[in-house]
Amino acid sequence: GEDVEQSLFLSVREGDSSVINCTYTDSSSTYLYWYKQEPGAGLQLLTYIFSNMDMKQDQRLTVLLNKKDKHLSLRIADTQTGDSAIYFCAESVQGGSYIPTFGRGTSLIVHP
C-alpha cells in the first residue's frame, strides 16, 4: 500500500527559498499532490503532478519529482510570512485505490 513520509518542521527566514520534501512508496502510476493548511482552516490544493512528469512550476511554487528515489519536493521562492502553514504531501494511485494517502504534514515557520 501507499505510504507517504515528510519531515514535521521547517523554519526559514523571510525572503529565502523553502524546500519541503516528501517520499512515497508506491511504484505504480501515481498522482502526487501538495496541499496547504493555514491556521484554523481546512486544506487547500496548491498543485499536483503525475508521475510521468519531472517538474511543474506555478509562480513561486516549483514541484520536482525524482521517480527513481520516489522523492517529491515543493520549493517556495521568496518565502513570505503568509506562507507559514502546514504543507501536506499526498499520493493517489492510478488504477488502484483512488483515495489519497496523506503524509503527516510539514509545519513551515517563516521568520521576519
Residues that bind other proteins (CB under 8 A): 8, 31, 33, 35, 40-45, 48, 50, 88, 92, 94-95, 98-100, 102-105
14 or 23: CB nearest other proteins = 23
CB of 29 to other proteins, least distance (A): 8
State the pairing for strand pair 61-66/55-58: antiparallel
CB of 68 to other proteins, least distance (A): 22
Q: Rounded distance, CA 42 to CA 20, Å?
A: 19
CA distances from 32 to 12, 62, 72 (A): 24, 13, 8
